[in-house]
Chain A
Amino acid sequence: MRKVPRRRIAGATAGVAAGVIAGVGVLALAGVSIARGLETADRDPAALIDATHLPPLLTLPGEAVTLRYDVYCAAPGADPESGVPCDAGGTAYVRAGDFGLFRAVPLRLDAAASQGRYSAEVPSDILGALEGFSYYAVLRSNTSGATTRLPAGGQYAPLRSRPLGRAITVNLGSHAFGAPRRATARVASASWGGAPGQVGLEQGPELQPIGGSSFDVGATGVVNLLDEANRRVLRFAPGAAPPSSVAVGVRGTIADLAVGADGGMAVLETVGDDGATPLIRSFDPNGRSLGAWHIAERSASALELGPSGPTALEYPSSQWMPVLERGTAVAASTQRERGRAGRALGNGDELVVEREGSEARIAQVGPRGVRRSWRIQSSTPLGEVQLAKPLGDKLVVVLRVYSDGRDEFEVLVLDDRGAAKRFSVDSTAWAETAPLARFRLRGSALYALGSTPAGVFVDRYDLEVS
């Protein structure tokens, strides 16, 4: 065996060692420069302003109405992060009905309130108007002069508070947990994973399981399940297995899905990229991208595909806003100016929903005001109104009822006398979904999205409503 000279080994070793050091050094420097290149200047902390407001959309005769806001801005003094409440103020602009001049009502600080600390009483002559009132508010930081408007459309899209009229009261009493109705059929199911026919879970060490975040049902009963983690939609045709798969270019985070009559799809990405508002993406039935459009506001919770195009329920304005109309993007300013608190119905009416404590108020509103309305009262706390949609001359409503340890959904078919039908549905949801994507109504069937540690499913409940 040939002996390698010691000096040669030493030279090579020194070269290797120097190479390792140099390689690591180059990458460290590159990393630092990348990091510094990514970092941009901080915002002006004094420019921060945000406001929240819970609108009194549906009121009872004689009910006192106080408009309440919370305002957040930089703390006065040298340290904007000191946690001292900002010095804020503002004005509510209120008028009777939908027309005429707004009357300015200054907001006053209610120092004793834990929330809704800036408030204004609606003047009694306006509150007493038969058609209700409309309003918006301008909130400001007295320290920096920064202002914000709620809703963002201001005088062009004020919030609308309507008298509930002769509402039909439905008293649910105390909810009996543990007796949900059995589904008529399981119409879609998939185990978790990335293989064909499976639905993916988003990953993260301190992340709730998230996956199969939305679904919709086509006119022929085809269930379209959004598999955002695998960036595809699974289609379950009635009686056919396995599902077909359509790739869609989505972000891979929680999103809402709506499917049109032609099979075209709209996806609301609830997460925006850096510094940008969330997007609505449009796809043809084969998954080909038709475009993507930003919503006007910082966040959105639900998507609706109307005859003119997609609308999104946007916050902080708490209004449905059109994002695309007949294939044309709606400018952000126009979206804001056309915001409506109610969900638009096919006949031009609006469905307005308000849940406050253990009561949910629902009204179908036409051009002349409230056509019909319901007050749903419960001894068990009510969570969100997941769905409220007309079914013929009836209204299907799905609400969550909860205690500190349990929850279920209450399904109501409402008519002019009260609840024509009522049953509960298991809330089984191991994986998180888009907030208002658990139920869809197609024809007289209610579809429910659920999940377990094994996978995701869609159940159908036939409502058997004449």
Chain B
Amino acid sequence: MIRRRLPRAARAFAVTASIVCALTAATGAWAYHTHFVVNNCNTNPPQYTSYFTRDGSSTVALYAQREGYQWAGGCWNDNDVDDSPGDPTSDPGTGGEGPDCSGFTFKVWRESLAESDAGAYQWNKLRNVHGPYTSARFKSGDGAPNVTYGKGGLIRMDALASSSHIGLIYAPNADGTDQIIEAKGEAYGTNIWTRTYRGDSGYGGVRRLGWNA
């Protein structure tokens, strides 16, 4: 009896393990769960800073260049590679590398999780934080540090926000377009692109208050 029962259990084990692997792989779930956030990111408290500048925030933004995009994300390294490529856009919980557009703005603008606090806080790139604002809320100027601002007067590190996207002005171009640094989407990652958001009536101007320079 014992000789017959053990092979049955082993067969069940082998068949089930194979089915689990096959089903999971077939759904693609294993392919995009790269565990980037689990393996790399932290929840350290931010560091309050009394001095913050557009120069400094531009530099902070540049460290996110080419580091991918993650819906609702806010953690990245600086190896110039999207370490979790191909996350399905329908799944917000893939734990991949990169910020989304509003999380990127929140971190680069060095904002507080407390919406009533206009102070500046340094979030390291590996701190996984998104912040309380969506692009639509930024567009409305929600939160103590943020105000809506006339688009014609926007300068570098001001933002252009729509109901579904926000990007930071990196530099104006001679032809009237702007170079925008933004977390654009899973297929785009985070980088600098030329855009015409400024003239687009779907976008409004947003300024972070309190720059020292």
Interface residues of A (CB under 8 A from B): 7-8, 11-20, 22-24, 26-27, 30-32, 34-36, 38-43, 45, 48, 50, 52-55, 57, 70-75, 80-86, 111, 114-115, 117, 202-208, 251-254, 270-271, 274-275, 298-301, 315-316, 318, 341, 353-355, 357-358, 360, 381-385, 399-402, 404-407, 427, 429, 435-436
Residues of A near B171 (CB, < 8 A) are 52-54, 70, 316
Residues of B near A358 (CB, < 8 A) are 152
Within the complex, the shortest CB–CB distance from B63 to chain A, in Å, comes to 6
Residues of B near A26 (CB, < 8 A) are 17, 21
Q: Does B140 contact A (CB under 8 A)?
A: no
Choose from A24, A84, A401 the contact partner of B51 (Cβ within 8 Å).
A84
Within the complex, the shortest CB–CB distance from A74 to chain B, in Å, comes to 7
Residues of A near B6 (CB, < 8 A) are 11
Q: Does B113 contact A (CB under 8 A)?
A: no
Residues of A near B192 (CB, < 8 A) are 298-299, 315
16 further contact pairs, Cβ within 8 A, besides A39-B77, A71-B55: A7-B1, A11-B12, A23-B17, A23-B21, A31-B30, A54-B171, A70-B171, A86-B59, A204-B185, A207-B89, A299-B191, A299-B194, A301-B173, A355-B175, A381-B152, A435-B195
Q: Is the CB of B100 within 8 A of A384?
A: no
A-B contact count (CB 8 A): 299
Residues of A near B201 (CB, < 8 A) are 402, 405-407, 427
A406 to B203, CA, bound (A): 10
A41 to B150, CA, bound (A): 42
Q: Is the CB of B56 within 8 A of A84?
A: yes
A360 to B195, CA, bound (A): 18
Q: Known contacts being A38-B81, A72-B58, A435-B196, is A81 close to B8, with CB within 8 Å? A: no
Q: Is the CB of A72 within 8 A of B10?
A: no
Q: Is the CB of B89 within 8 A of A204?
A: yes
A24 to B42, CA, bound (A): 25
Residues of B near A407 (CB, < 8 A) are 199-201
Within the complex, the shortest CB–CB distance from B82 to chain A, in Å, comes to 6
Which of A71, A115, A401 has the most chain B CB atoms inside 10 A of its CB?
Answer: A115
Residues of A near B111 (CB, < 8 A) are none
Q: Is the CB of B204 within 8 A of A404?
A: yes
Q: Known contacts being A19-B12, A81-B125, is A435 close to B194, with CB within 8 Å? A: yes
Q: Known contacts being A38-B81, A299-B194, A400-B196, is A385 close to B156, with CB within 8 Å? A: no
Within the complex, the shortest CB–CB distance from B45 to chain A, in Å, comes to 15
A357 to B174, CA, bound (A): 10
Residues of A near B211 (CB, < 8 A) are 114
Q: Is the CB of B58 within 8 A of A15?
A: no
Interface residues of B (CB under 8 A from A): 1, 5-6, 8-21, 24-25, 30, 33-36, 39-40, 49, 51-60, 62-63, 66, 71, 77-85, 89-90, 92, 100-102, 110, 120, 122, 124-125, 134-135, 150-152, 155-156, 162, 164-165, 170-177, 179, 184-189, 191-196, 198-202, 204-205, 211, 213
Q: Known contacts being A72-B55, A81-B122, A82-B56, is A50 close to B62, with CB within 8 Å? A: yes
| Chain A residue with Cβ nearest B92 | A205
Residues of B near A32 (CB, < 8 A) are 35, 39
A15 to B8, CA, bound (A): 8
| Chain B residue with Cβ nearest A401 | B199
Q: Known contacts being A19-B14, A19-B16, is A360 close to B176, with CB within 8 Å? A: yes
Q: Is the CB of B174 within 8 A of A54?
A: yes
Q: Mind listing 23 A-B residue pairs with CB under 8 Å?
A: A11-B9, A19-B14, A20-B16, A20-B20, A24-B20, A42-B78, A43-B80, A50-B62, A81-B122, A204-B186, A208-B165, A271-B187, A301-B193, A315-B194, A318-B173, A353-B174, A360-B176, A385-B175, A400-B196, A406-B201, A435-B177, A435-B194, A436-B175
Residues of A near B110 (CB, < 8 A) are 83
A420 to B175, CA, bound (A): 23
Within the complex, the shortest CB–CB distance from A89 to chain B, in Å, comes to 13
Within the complex, the shortest CB–CB distance from A39 to chain B, in Å, comes to 5
A85 to B59, CA, bound (A): 8
Choose from A35, A57, A111, A202 the contact partner of B35 (Cβ within 8 Å).
A35
Q: Is the CB of A399 within 8 A of B176?
A: yes
Q: Is the CB of A341 within 8 A of B174?
A: yes
Residues of A near B33 (CB, < 8 A) are 31
A117 to B134, CA, bound (A): 31
Residues of B near A86 (CB, < 8 A) are 55, 59
Choose from B56, B176, B179 the contact partner of A52 (Cβ within 8 Å).
B179
Q: Is the CB of A206 within 8 A of B21?
A: no
Residues of A near B18 (CB, < 8 A) are 19, 23
Residues of B near A57 (CB, < 8 A) are 174
Residues of A near B135 (CB, < 8 A) are 206
A34 to B85, CA, bound (A): 12
Which of B92, B162, B199 has the most chain A CB atoms inside 10 A of its CB?
Answer: B199
Q: Known contacts being A52-B170, A204-B185, A206-B165, is A16 close to B13, with CB within 8 Å? A: yes
Q: Known contacts being A7-B5, A27-B21, A253-B188, is A81 close to B80, with CB within 8 Å? A: no
| Chain B residue with Cβ nearest A402 | B199
A38 to B81, CA, bound (A): 9
Q: Is the CB of B66 within 8 A of A22?
A: no
A18 to B53, CA, bound (A): 57
Choose from A8, A17, A271, A401 the contact partner of B188 (Cβ within 8 Å).
A271
Q: Is the CB of A15 within 8 A of B174?
A: no
Within the complex, the shortest CB–CB distance from B40 to chain A, in Å, comes to 8
Q: Known contacts being A26-B17, A253-B188, A407-B200, is A81 close to B55, with CB within 8 Å? A: no
A206 to B71, CA, bound (A): 7
| Chain A residue with Cβ nearest B5 | A11
Pick the 8 closest A-B CB pairs, nearest first. A19-B16, A383-B199, A15-B12, A23-B20, A83-B56, A301-B194, A52-B171, A355-B176
Residues of B near A52 (CB, < 8 A) are 156, 170-171, 179
Q: Is the CB of A114 within 8 A of B198?
A: no
Within the complex, the shortest CB–CB distance from A306 to chain B, in Å, comes to 18
Q: Is the CB of A54 within 8 A of B150?
A: no
